[in-house]
Amino acid sequence: MSRDELRRLVDEQQRSLSAAGLTAGGTLAVRLPPSLSCVVAMLAGWRGGAQVALLDYRLTTHEVGKAVARLAPQLVVEPVADVTGTLRGFFDVDARTTPLRGGRPAASDHVLLQLSSGSTGPSKVIGRTAGSLLTELDRYAALEGFPGRGERTVVLASIVHVLGLVGGLLHGLAAGSEVVLPARQTVDGILKAVAAGDRPTTILGVPSQAAVLAAARTPPRLPHLRRMITGGELVKESVRERFTTGYGAELGVMYGMTEAGVIATDLTGADRPALTPAPDMPVRVENGEILLGLPENPYVGLRDPTRYVEGWLRTKDAGTFDDATGLLTVHGRLDSQVSIGGLKVDLTEVEASISALPGVSEAVVVHGTGIEAFVMVDEQAVFDGLAGSVAARLAPYKRPRSLNLLTELPRTATGKPVRDAQVLRAAAKSAATPSPAHSHAAGETR
């Protein structure tokens, strides 16, 4: 798709939205899968001066209803027919525009509304102004090694969430790099997308996608693949080693939030696990918590008055600065620290210890009725011996009260592991095959 053709389609869509009643200062919700229709609708809404809310197409009807009730858009653009295909990276869809009764014009100067991932609780409505988005694009442009003009970005991250939207789509449009959405997000589909071009190529995705690529038995030779950059959770060391060795490419990482976009990066993986703050991003650590300097409160609607105070956003992430190098290390969520029998336990530490065990492919640790671990393993024998392996690595008060086997780890729309105990228990119950052999003295095991 050339830029001239894209501009023509955006012009047509803008006229269509205007005919449907959208004016400057109006509100538009876009609920489309990754597609040309999604990109065109979003850009047309902005060109018309509207506030655009992006809704993930994978939301259920119930979730969409709740989101629309909260956002009250005047128009919604959505697929004409139901969309299916969990491993599709790009869709060809017909869209329709529907005026909504009770929709309201924008109540703020935010041009973009997004819902937070909801990995640890209910989603929040987050607003970005034009100035905020342009500042983030300037940060991307200043990142040495991030794709620029004449290069390609294969975008696996969702284009309705901040990493894929700003780091992938909008940066590509601003910087003049080619943006590629693979037809399918299977290993074969991703590698075909990488191999289809002859210019320096970067893959932009999440850790679970890096793990899938790293698991390929015989990775093909891809001379133009420079690196993969992931956002979200830290990539396991074993995954990093398999990826860099198998593809001969770097595996970098980014730390960011929907509220602010990119915050810190290690694009080559050389400083792992430390990160360099993004250019002109005000970051400081206070009492072990990472704080971000933002010119305005990013939250829309109901707000926690303690979250944004005097120009600083409390991230609720634990971190440390190395004064000598200026590097930032993110240690996980502050709310991952719990008290067990009067002793402090960091769930991030417990999760990392279990994830590092041989044969454990994924692990999530939460605190519900006690410490609960939910794991995916390479084979049943690993799970059968898991309680003993955990006992050898963790003090008694740190050990999970229950070990639960999953066939698939529940994830948010952005690919982050869900950390809601009820959701995880339901997934474990669905995957359970009751057997007396799965009960261990170290704790109840499902």
Q: Domain extents for the chain?
A: 3-107, 130-332, 341-445
What pLDDT is recorded for position 87? 81
What is the Cα 194 distance to its own chain's centre?
21
CATH architecture of 3-107: 3-Layer(aba) Sandwich (3.40)
Q: Is the peptide bond before 273 cis (omega within 30 degrees of 0)?
A: yes
Tokens of 155: 């975008």
What pLDDT is recorded for position 368? 80
CATH architecture of 341-445: 2-Layer Sandwich (3.30)
Q: Which residues pair with 253 in a beta bridge?
A: 230, 266
What pLDDT is recorded for position 324? 92
One digit per residue, the tens of pLDDT, for the chain of length 446 reads: 999 999 999 999 999 999 999 999 999 999 999 999 999 999 999 999 999 999 988 877 777 888 888 899 999 999 998 888 778 889 999 999 999 999 999 999 999 999 875 544 456 899 999 999 999 999 999 999 999 999 999 999 999 999 999 999 999 999 999 999 999 999 999 999 999 999 999 999 998 899 899 988 889 999 999 999 999 777 888 899 999 999 999 999 999 999 999 999 999 999 989 999 999 999 999 999 999 999 999 999 877 788 999 999 999 898 999 989 999 999 877 877 777 866 778 888 898 889 889 999 889 999 887 899 999 999 999 999 999 999 998 888 899 999 999 999 888 766 778 888 889 999 998 887 554 434 343 444 45
Residue-wise burial string across 145-178, b where 16 or more C-beta atoms lie within 10 A, e elsewhere: ebbbeebbbbbbbbbbbbbbbbbbbbbbeebebb
7-to-1, 43, 213, 267 alpha-carbon distances in Å: 10, 9, 35, 32
167-to-140, 155, 207, 222, 396 alpha-carbon distances in Å: 7, 9, 16, 23, 43
Cβ 405 vs Cβ 197: under 8 Å:
no
Structural Rg of the chain based on CA atoms: 22
Determine the Cα–Cα distance for residues 135 and 319; give it in Å rounded to an integer. 24
What pLDDT is recorded for position 325? 93
Q: Fold match between 130-332 and 341-445? A: no
Class of domain 130-332: alpha beta
Cβ 337 vs Cβ 330: under 8 Å:
no
What pLDDT is recorded for position 149? 95
Strand 125-128 versus strand 75-79 pairing type: unpaired
